[in-house]
């Protein structure tokens, strides 16, 4: 009977989730989850226990004993899968804006066959989604009795303000099955729930509590969970790779620099990250700006000047109570948004505890916390996805081609060449750099993509994900349309196999190479050497090449100034200043 009630609750919740596509049903959906489905599921869920357990041994079975209780998974396309395992106590109530705590043990067996909540966020067109109770991870592993397998922990993208591990493109069936490793995807707090600093709210507690880097600490906690529990799933806690794309790659860079993550992982994969990082002063300033907005929204002030005056007279306990009284969704929807509905909210702060005061300049010293082998790179046409979304300049114009080519070069300079040059300046850590070109226009102006997508999108942001993870599914296709066709399938599949082979080797040994693959050179700062592996394929075969040059932001500015006519320079440079990367040279 209990299972029937639980099944009924899940069905109701699914229907209501679908209803969120239509805004008139949004309040009804939230009411049903709050008053019917969630309370009943909590009642029948395994009850908390007051002690932890000794993790069991892997026995090639769906039921696994973790430190916090038994979990029961299932076979998912011939690999074992466990979804929605809690790796920390839900960061709700008094635990909002605090460092995560260990998971609460439970009695009985926890069914882990459905994804846990995604982080609270506001999605474009869909509105409020997810929950503050979001600290869950998912595991896939081969159906075998083998133990000591490499662990590959993947951090989803979304600019640290939107996104979820619970999408088809981030599932681990292919990596677990083809690469013979454990694949883990993880959720973490996003936006102002994950990165938030203001002395009235975060000025007490442990140094971690005061850091403001709660999303970063969530990821550290997930790695601690892996260290304590992954042997029970047949994984090796001494061979853990952290990987991520876009916002997930921002977080991998932060983990490389973070003393809090020291010793918790042993390789890193950084896909299309940026080396953007912010001071605690910037963090406080954006919170003050949010407070001004909220005060006006609540009609406590008629304008910004009046709101700032009210704020200047509020005591710390008043500010703390005021912010904690707001739901995560109220806070998030009062933050301006940018492309794809991502919040215009700075994340990753140089607090001096979780992230060094030096920021990513720490990579230029011998003091950075996690000197492990790194794969890092970007796509050739990173920013064309954002250009396609903005339609400014108009598609298929000279201005469009120029602006988004320069933007993409700036992305590479900030997210690849700059951190790599720092990492290798005083350290012998091996760094392997790639540029992903599949879909970009070739020297003849042709692309493997259908229609005009080669010029409009090319090798766009997130294009490499289906190749690296092997799922053959691009989540972004829901927005931009189909790019994977029968025509480009032969070359696309060969490139997928190559990328997955490199990553499997890297996860096992820290080196992507073996005798059967094209050589991937280690980055070397010596002039004239091959530094970057170019991953590409035409419609039928691989097309592998190498790049020697390294670029800086100033190089890109100089290139634009040298190529642009005087009549167009001002407009193009103004559009370049409207990107993610400050043109500081």
* pLDDT number for residue 25: 40
CB 151 within 8 A of CB 240: yes
Side-by-side strand order, sheet with 74-76: 74-76, 79-86, 136-142, 182-186, 149-155, 235-245, 267-271, 374-379, 431-436, 532-535, 545-547
Contact 331, 343 (CB under 8 A): no
List the one residue out of 361, 339, 355 whose CA is nearest residue 282: 355
Contact 224, 259 (CB under 8 A): no
**In the prediction, which pLDDT does 47 show?**
72
Given this model, what pLDDT does residue 43 score?
52
**Residue partners of 443: CB distance under 8 A and separation at least 6:** none
What is the model's pLDDT at position 253?
Answer: 98
Mapped to the 3 state alphabet, what secondary structure does 517-564 carry?
CCCCCCCCCCCCCCCEEEECECCCCECCEEECCCCCHHHHHHHHHHHC
393: cis peptide before it, omega within 30°? yes
Q: So what's the pLDDT on residue 476?
A: 87
Taking a C-beta distance cutoff of 8 angstroms, is the pair 153, 222 a contact?
yes
- pLDDT (tens, 9 = 90+) of the chain, 585 residues, equals 344 444 444 443 433 343 333 333 444 454 455 555 555 555 555 678 778 899 999 999 999 999 999 999 999 989 999 999 999 999 999 999 999 999 999 999 999 999 999 999 999 888 999 999 999 999 999 999 999 999 999 999 999 999 999 999 999 999 999 999 999 999 999 999 999 999 999 999 999 999 999 999 999 999 999 999 999 999 999 999 999 999 999 999 999 999 999 999 999 999 999 999 999 999 999 999 999 999 999 999 999 999 999 999 999 999 999 999 999 999 999 999 999 999 999 999 999 999 999 999 999 998 899 999 999 999 999 999 999 999 999 999 999 999 999 999 999 999 999 999 999 999 899 999 999 999 999 999 999 999 999 999 999 999 999 999 999 888 888 889 999 999 999 999 999 999 999 999 999 999 999 999 999 999 999 999 999 999 999 999 999 999 999 999 999 999 999 999 998 999 999 999 888 888 864
Which residues touch 79 (CB under 8 Å, ≥6 apart)?
140, 141, 142, 143, 172, 173, 176, 177
| Tokens read off for 181 | 């490793």
Is 78 in contact with 177 (CB distance < 8 Å)? yes
What sign has the CA pseudo-torsion 514, 518, 523, 525? positive
Which domains does the chain possess?
2-244 (3.40.50.1820), 280-338 (no CATH), 373-576 (no CATH)
Confidence at residue 76, expressed as pLDDT on a 0 to 100 scale: 94
Q: How far apart are CA 179 and CA 500, in angstroms?
A: 7
Contact status, residue 191 vs residue 218, Cβ threshold 8 Å: no
């Amino acid at each position: 009977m209990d299972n029937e009630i639980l099944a009924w609750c899940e069905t109701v919740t699914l229907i209501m989730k679908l209803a969120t596509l239509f805004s008139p049903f949004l309040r009804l959906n939230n009411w049903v989850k709050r008053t019917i489905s969630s309370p009943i599921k909590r009642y029948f869920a395994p009850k908390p226990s007051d002690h932890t357990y000794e993790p069991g041994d892997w026995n090639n079975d769906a039921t696994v004993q973790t430190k916090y209780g038994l979990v029961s998974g299932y076979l998912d396309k011939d690999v074992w899968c466990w979804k929605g395992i809690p790796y920390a106590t839900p960061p709700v109530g008094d635990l909002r804006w605090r460092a995560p705590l260990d998971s609460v043990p439970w009695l009985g067996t926890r069914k882990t066959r459905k994804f846990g909540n995604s982080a609270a966020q506001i999605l474009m067109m869909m509105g409020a989604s997810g929950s503050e109770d979001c600290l869950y991870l998912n595991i896939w592993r081969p159906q075998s009795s083998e133990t000591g397998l490499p662990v590959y922990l993947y951090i989803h993208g979304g600019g640290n303000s939107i996104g979820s591990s619970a999408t088809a493109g981030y599932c681990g069936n292919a990596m677990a099955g083809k690469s013979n490793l454990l694949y883990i995807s993880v959720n973490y707090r996003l936006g102002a729930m994950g990165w938030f600093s203001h002395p009235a709210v975060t000025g007490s507690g442990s140094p971690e509590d005061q850091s403001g880097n709660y999303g970063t600490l969530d990821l550290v906690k997930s790695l601690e969970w892996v260290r304590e529990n992954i042997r029970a799933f047949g994984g090796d806690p001494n061979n853990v790779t952290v990987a991520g794309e876009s916002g997930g790659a921002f977080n991998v860079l932060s983990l490389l620099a973070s003393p809090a993550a020291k010793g918790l992982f042993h390789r890193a994969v950084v896909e299309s990250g940026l080396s953007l990082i912010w001071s605690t002063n910037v963090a406080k300033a954006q919170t003050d700006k949010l407070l001004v907005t909220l005060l006006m929204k609540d009609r406590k002030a008629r304008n910004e000047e009046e709101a700032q005056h009210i704020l200047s007279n509020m005591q710390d306990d008043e500010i703390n109570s005021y912010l904690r009284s707001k739901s995560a969704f109220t806070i998030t929807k009062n933050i301006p948004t940018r492309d794809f509905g991502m919040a215009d909210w700075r994340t990753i702060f140089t607090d001096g505890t979780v992230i060094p005061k030096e920021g990513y300049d720490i990579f230029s010293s011998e003091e950075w916390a996690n000197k492990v082998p790194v794969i890092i790179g970007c796509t050739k046409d990173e920013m064309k996805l954002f250009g396609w979304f903005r339609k400014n300049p108009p598609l298929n114009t000279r201005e469009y081609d120029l602006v988004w080519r320069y933007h993409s070069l700036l992305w590479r300079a900030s997210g690849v060449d700059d951190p790599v040059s720092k990492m290798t300046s005083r350290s012998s850590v091996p760094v392997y750099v790639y540029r992903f070109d599949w879909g970009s226009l070739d020297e003849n102006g042709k692309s493997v993509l259908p229609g005009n997508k080669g010029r409009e999108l090319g090798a766009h942001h997130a294009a490499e994900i289906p190749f690296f993870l092997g799922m053959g599914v691009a989540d972004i296709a829901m927005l931009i349309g189909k790019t994977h066709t029968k025509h480009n399938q032969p070359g696309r599949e060969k490139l997928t196999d190559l990328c997955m082979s490199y990553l499997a080797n890297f996860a096992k040994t820290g080196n992507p190479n073996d005798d059967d693959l094209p050589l991937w050179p280690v980055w070397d700062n010596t002039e004239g050497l091959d530094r970057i592996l170019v991953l590409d394929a035409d419609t039928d075969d691989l097309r592998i090449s190498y790049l020697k040059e390294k670029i800086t932001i100033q190089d890109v500015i100089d290139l634009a100034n040298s190529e642009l006519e005087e009549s167009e320079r001002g407009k193009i440079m103004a559009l370049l200043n409207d990107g993610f990367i400050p043109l500081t040279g």
